Chains A and B, each alone.
Chain A
């Protein structure tokens, strides 16, 4: 008697299973479940584009409609990955054009996307609906025009913090009059001015438009007319908020804001003048997300705004908010889940606002019971503050503290910040992401290794005394998935000792540490399932084994060594002439 679940029934059941994590589990049950699952998966996420080949993905998931890819390592955001390292979208787009022409959605992060890529997308995927590019580069506004003109069912076009060659604002005018399906448009990272009349026409013929994020070049005046055309917006990113408007224009704008009953998310607000802040009051009670991180507004002006945002869940702001402003947040924004405070000075230490200290974060941790995600840039910090924060908020999931002064100790006791971070990892049992900074010794990492059992991502800079620290982390943090380290005295021994651990992680990045060339070679020999990339702009042929390498990027992969490595990336497979390690192995 065949006891297997008929595949049609299983398919029907699986149509209710959305989460890829669950689907991955399903696919491990048995061969027939693997088959049914793979034939029905619509949304595929590949978090390291070099971990697997495009062909393998296309083969496994023929019904794929949505593909998400991530390319460069996270530290590329801070210019630590040289240009030309890799992360090219082209091979993926080319492969999918042939094997998955029904692809509808593409979400790329930290990848190199060229105009050819965009043209290929426009030409190959007849029902293309969603393009979201985050921190991508390599394309120009011409590529955007190609997407605009050809994708007749386009729903989402979002460019988040991309580096785009801006050849002008014409691209927007390429959206045909027949395009009425737009739901989301984000061109906030572009510089050039788009033609206002074309933008207005686009907005008026898009009844489903829910999210509109303008660039800085869109004036305050223009904003008024756009809002009147789209009062249904749920997410708004304004342009520049600083033109001088006459009284009539101001009252029209105020009226337009008060008509926006659905607005939940507000961003942009570049150069916002204090006298225009009251324009926003009417939408504040409905806001769940407010991004003021580009608004150079001082604390007193912020207070009035924040006291009205009683439903706020996400707040991004600059340190201009000061401790006093964060106290207001603590008392007014009881639903707050995520807080990010960015520095207001370009030179970091030079111009940072000294009226914002560790006390601000302590206040928020006291007043906001749902706070679970923190990114905080501050000049200095104290252990006592971190201990208090940990006690107040054991529910923290993400704690990223950037003490901007490297090696800064607790500024009250002059001790290292070990005890503070110990409290965080000890009390916050669900902590998944942690960034540490300030003066830290071996002890801090011993604590993290002992207590950080759910930690998945850890970022370290300018810390530590010795190799023991890396050893504590790799042997202690069971859930560790991504580890990125810069400028720490971590070296060979811990790395080689814990080589097996690296196969259980997505990736490890180490730059300006003490990893020797010989260790890299040895690791490559021992661990064939890892790609061990030495990224070093000086030639390696004549280097002795003991010399340290500039950067090392290690990731697990099923695809083997990649074929698109530039000169300055060395692997044992690409450069066999370098030879094997001469490290003594007993």
Chain B
């Protein structure tokens, strides 16, 4: 017979009917049988270990759930957003038709399309996708809301590695600052430019960067072969191998 849970007055200590007891404190993390730690360890967020293809040079198509799903863009997760399949198919058809129309009529607009994107005839300014190696869910960041590389790096650090009390960053594991732009770090910030090449962020003046960036990727330093090592030759550009 499983007994009722009794809540201690402090609400931070719980006597569990199964005889497991929790530590106190405000963090309210529950120690699982078997000695599990923070949920990030075997939580839902996919790590590079689960999917050997994640962290490869091609960021696209690498993040997907176990259990086959049709090809989808990076940062998409099965069943999200929660739209029924009929509606999803209809939207995809609309996209295809729209792209055809756009392609025929607006070929010359492509050059200006990187950061500014035409959606349903309206110009969508500044939002580009950011993916991080080992994190299935991508984010979006508004480049127009940033004035410099430092700003951007700070935002990305907050997004992916936020560890203020009561919240958990997307990875949940890291608490030290990222330092994406300077000094040695486990991660580097890279971007894909108009030509489809992957570059290290920081090479070109900020204004030039925001007109040529298509999307960002927080890449593991170990994966960044072929991109210039920052502390050695920051000015050189290389194409990824």
Contact A514 B119 (CB under 8 A): no
Contact A80 B79 (CB under 8 A): yes
Main secondary structure of the interface of B (DSSP, over half): loop
Residues on the A chain within 8 Å of B8, using CB: none
Contact B34 A491 (CB under 8 A): no
Kindly identify which residue among B39, B67, B76 contacts A489, using a CB–CB cutoff of 8 Å: B39
Sample of 10 A–B contacts (CB below 8 Å): A78-B84, A79-B69, A294-B90, A342-B87, A354-B124, A402-B82, A407-B137, A465-B166, A500-B2, A586-B18
Expressed in whole angstroms, the minimum distance between the Cβ of B1 and any Cβ of chain A is 9
Residues on the A chain within 8 Å of B86, using CB: 161, 189
Kindly identify which residue among A79, A135, A537, A548 contacts B79, using a CB–CB cutoff of 8 Å: A79
Contact B119 A497 (CB under 8 A): no
Cα-based distance from A355 to B123 in the complex (angstroms): 10
Interface residues on B, range: 35 or more
Residues on the B chain within 8 Å of A471, using CB: 5
Contact A442 B82 (CB under 8 A): no
Tell me whether A353 and B81 are in contact in the complex, defined as CB-CB below 8 angstroms, given that A441-B167, A491-B32 are known contacts.
no
Q: Footprint of A on B, CB under 8 Å?
A: 2, 5, 16-20, 28-30, 32-34, 36, 39, 42-44, 65-67, 69, 72-73, 75-88, 90-92, 94-95, 119-122, 124, 127, 129, 137-140, 166-168, 170
Cα-based distance from A163 to B88 in the complex (angstroms): 13
Residues on the A chain within 8 Å of B72, using CB: 347
Chain A contact residue count (CB 8 A cutoff): 78
Contact B2 A79 (CB under 8 A): no
Residues on the B chain within 8 Å of A135, using CB: 84
**Chain A positions 470-520 with a Cβ under 8 Å from a chain B Cβ:** 471, 475, 486-489, 491-494, 496-500, 512-514, 516, 518
Among B67, B121, B137, the one with the most A-chain Cβ atoms within 10 Å of its Cβ is B67
Cα-based distance from A69 to B75 in the complex (angstroms): 36
- Closest Cβ neighbor of B29 among chain A residues: A466
Q: Footprint of B on A, CB under 8 Å?
A: 75, 77-80, 82, 135, 161, 163, 189, 270, 293-294, 296, 298, 320, 342-351, 353-355, 377, 402, 404-407, 416, 439, 441-443, 461-462, 465-468, 471, 475, 486-489, 491-494, 496-500, 512-514, 516, 518, 526, 537-538, 545-548, 550, 583-586
Contact B91 A344 (CB under 8 A): yes
- Closest Cβ neighbor of A188 among chain B residues: B86
Given A270-B90, A298-B120, 8 more A-B residue pairs with CB atoms under 8 Å apart are: A346-B94, A348-B80, A354-B119, A402-B82, A406-B77, A439-B167, A465-B167, A466-B29
Contact A546 B34 (CB under 8 A): yes
Expressed in whole angstroms, the minimum distance between the Cβ of A171 and any Cβ of chain B is 19
Contact B44 A487 (CB under 8 A): yes
Residues on the B chain within 8 Å of A441, using CB: 166-167
Among B36, B42, B44, B88, the one with the most A-chain Cβ atoms within 10 Å of its Cβ is B44
Residues on the A chain within 8 Å of B127, using CB: 354
- Closest Cβ neighbor of B75 among chain A residues: A349
Q: Top 9 closest A-B pairs, CB basis?
A: A586-B19, A78-B79, A489-B39, A346-B91, A546-B34, A467-B30, A512-B44, A346-B92, A348-B81
Expressed in whole angstroms, the minimum distance between the Cβ of A418 and any Cβ of chain B is 9
Expressed in whole angstroms, the minimum distance between the Cβ of A397 and any Cβ of chain B is 20
Expressed in whole angstroms, the minimum distance between the Cβ of B78 and any Cβ of chain A is 6
Residues on the B chain within 8 Å of A402, using CB: 81-82
- Closest Cβ neighbor of B165 among chain A residues: A441
Kindly identify which residue among A298, A345, A546, A585 contacts B36, using a CB–CB cutoff of 8 Å: A546
Expressed in whole angstroms, the minimum distance between the Cβ of B42 and any Cβ of chain A is 6
Contact A468 B28 (CB under 8 A): yes
Kindly identify which residue among B5, B33, B79, B88 contacts A492, using a CB–CB cutoff of 8 Å: B33
Contact B94 A78 (CB under 8 A): no
